[in-house]
Structure 1
Amino acid sequence: MHDARLPLALRIASAVIESTSPRSAATALLEQICDHTPVLAASVMSFNPITGQHTVLSSTGYRLEVLDFLRSPAFLQDDVGYQQLVRRPDGGALGWRDVPGDYGQSPSAVRVFRPAGYSGGATARLLTTDGRYTGDLHLSCDDPDRPTLDVLQALRSVVSVMAVTTDATRRLSDVLSYVDAEVSAAVVTAWAGIVPIPGRAVPALLHDRSDVVLCVMAWRTRGQPTSRALFYMPRGTAGLQIELIAVPGGSLVIEHPAPPSYGLTAREVEILTFVSDGMLNVSIARRLEISERTVAHHVEHLLGKLGVRSRTAAARIAIEYGLRLLPGCPGPT
């Protein structure tokens, strides 16, 4: 329990920082606000840029149909007050009385809020310090003069702190805990979007080649046997190891600058990819438009480098160490 004599902004910040999970932080945040000012309902919603969905982290007083409205296009795209927040570069918070005109006569108020018993309220649009939208805080009251100006000022001063609570992408930091901080990573969504990870550079390969994004999407949707896979991508003189991890709504892409293991050439990795797919030399030769003898020569060399005698053993190493090309992406030229 925080000292009620402390400023509201400080109490909110302390509650968020001391919490151990997004939901507990959202609940603690609402407790501090509700202890400070009379409200009929309050909620904290998180926006997931990977799935494009809003999730209620904590709520009190709202009926389900109101919560559904607050995360629907009817509010997020059409509400006159919320659109003012969208146009603000720092997000911030707006009360009903801050919206030009009579917000009480707006479609949102007439159709949803007033029938639910609300005649005042406010919304804070939560943006991180680097400008990423992560969710919303909603308050509804039975007094058009509430929340008061001091409450709105407190919310505006801690928007970026509250945004940490609702930041869905920050939770991927746990997945990346084993990866060095300088390694680049991002999420490719189901609709070909690229979502940055806080504190990480976006893999250059995703910016430079749109075909890689499509290949990652195909890997995610084609029923891959595992939720994690390694691949090799020719690039410059060294190449890259691409690690893919399935996450809800997309694929986490981690880019490791590294030449292929075992001293394989880019061409040998390409042929090993076909071998691991179960293709025979004659089929590989037709695919690459080279002679079957040349393919056999490459296979002999790569088996020797891998220290194995069978194509099955070579395929097993290819999958384990990422010595295969990302399906659908062109190999070396």
Structure 2
Amino acid sequence: MVELPPGAAEIVADVERIAALPGDVRDRVPELLRVLHRLMPSGASMVHLLNPELREFQGLGGSGYSEVIVAYMGSSEHYREMELLGMDRDRPPMRVRDAPVPPGELRSWAEHLEPAGYREGIGLTLFSPDGRHLGLITLHTDDPAQPSDETRDFIGLLAPVMADAVDPMRSIATLSTIVADAEYGVVLTRGGNVLPLPGLPDHPLLRAEAPVLEVAAAGLREGRVHNSFLCPYPVPDDQGRHVRLTVLPCPVSAPAHLLAVVLISPAGDLRRLTRRELQILGLLVDGWSNQRIASQLVITQRTVAAHIEHILDKMDAPTRTLAAVRALRLGLYVPLPLTRIRR
């Protein structure tokens, strides 16, 4: 049983209060570190969020470390050290004197921390309840007697709440509330991978390397801050159903490897536009000529012209340019890469 240090109940209450605060993770981190300083007075501390695609850490809200130390702690070499120490797993906090490797054999300690005057420290891995490795918290001190066994073990008890406090997915998940009727969703990373979006299930259309995600990423590269478009729903009887995809970029404060939230919702009012007309609208959005559209869809230019006439009427637009602008704004089009989606 863990022995509680003096003021433990107040510290637990403060950590829980901080974890419950709304807003950006950057607002919670400094308060969290201040509470930890009450447990273990330290010369330096930092929250390190993990970029799993680059296997590097992003320092967040820390203080006391020199720029050189911060740069090293963010490097892939430091991540490899953490793997060597077992700090890439959900485990109890580890002090320098608890390390399975002599500190002198660790570059972070021998070349950076010890020469800077630190004599002890502690590292705490942070994992979400669903098993995501979020990163770690480090605290270093010039007192070789700190932290005590009691303090180390108590910090370990606080780990789940502190992980919740710094989980960047919390603020990202709130983006899904912008689309009130969203039924499915994922988080798209810059490496093309997908992560679960808390509160919503995933969908076969949102699997890694799916055409939908390629279109979503392309729209962000083109500067479309809020991008919405349609995708034919791949059903065997081909009834002409569509679903709506909405792409919302992650906040600038989110970890660098997180790109966007991609949501699926019902298509909504399609203004009586047919599947073919929605395809042609997608080509109009891309600026295609009638001749090029006819060649792509293997139909005559006369047929293309007839479809565009119907589109202009249904979009209440006097010109194809205005129809394309309204289609882009309302998300009433099917991008070309999605016209061939099959189950």
Q: TM bucket by the smaller chain?
A: 0.7 to 0.9
Q: Which residue of 2 aligns with 1:275?
A: 284
1:60-108, CA deviations, whole angstroms, 9 ceiling, x for partnerless residues?
Answer: 3222222222221121123466x4121x3x3442112322243344333
Q: 1:198 to 1:47 in 2, by over 3 A?
A: farther
TM (norm. structure 1) is: 0.84
Say whether residues 1:295 and 2:295 are aligned partners: no
2:229 aligns to what?
231
Specify the SS of the correspondent of 2:287. Answer: coil
CA shift for structure 1 position 258: 2.1
On the 8 A contact 1:50/1:187 being kept in 2, the answer is: no
Using the alignment, how far apart are the partners of 1:103 and 1:294 within structure 2? 75
Q: CA deviation at 1:276?
A: 3.2
Contact 1:261 1:321 in 2 (8 A): no
What does residue 275 of structure 2 align with? 266
The answer to whether the 8 A contact 2:279-2:336 is kept is no
**d(CA) in 2 for partners of 1:148, 1:159:** 17
Identity of aligned residues (%): 25
Shift of 1:332: 6.7
In structure 2, the residue matched to 1:189 is 189
Partner of 1:65: 68
Equivalent residues, number: 326
Distance 1:257 1:268 in 2: 19
Specify the SS of the correspondent of 2:177: coil
CA contact (8 A) 2:45 2:62 kept: yes
Provide the alpha-carbon RMSD of the alignment.
3.0
Matched-pair contact (CA < 8 Å) for 1:215–1:327: no
Q: Distance in 2 between matches of 1:93 and 1:100?
A: 13
Q: CA deviation at 1:181?
A: 7.5
Query: Where in structure 2 are the equivalents of 1:30-45 lying within 5 Å?
Result: 30-45=33-48
2:87 partner SS = helix
- The CA distance in 2 between the partners of 1:141 and 1:203, in whole Å, is 48
Aligned letter for 1:277? D
Cα distance in structure 1, aligned partners of 2:247 and 2:182: 17
Q: Shift of residue 113 of structure 1?
A: 1.8
1:316 Cα deviation (Å)?
A: 2.9
- Structure 2: any 5+ residue segments left out of the alignment? none
Instruction: Report SS of the residue matched to 2:175.
Output: coil
Q: Distance in 2 between matches of 1:92 and 1:190?
A: 31
- Alignment partner of 1:85: what SS? coil
Q: How far did 1:15 drift?
A: 4.7
Question: What is the deviation of 1:124?
Answer: 0.6
Do the aligned partners of 1:206 and 1:212 also contact (CA within 8 Å) in 2?
A: yes
Q: 1:45, 1:166 within 8 Å by CA — same for their partners in 2? A: no
Unaligned runs of 5+ in 1: none
Q: Which moved more, 1:119-128 or 1:95-104?
A: 95-104
Work out the CA distance in 1 between the residues paired with 2:299 and 2:76: 55
Number of the residue aligned with 2:125 = 125
What is the DSSP-based 3-state SS (H/G/I as helix, E as strand, rest coil) of the residue aligned with 2:122?
strand
Contact 1:8 1:33 in 2 (8 A): no
Name the counterpart of 1:326: 335
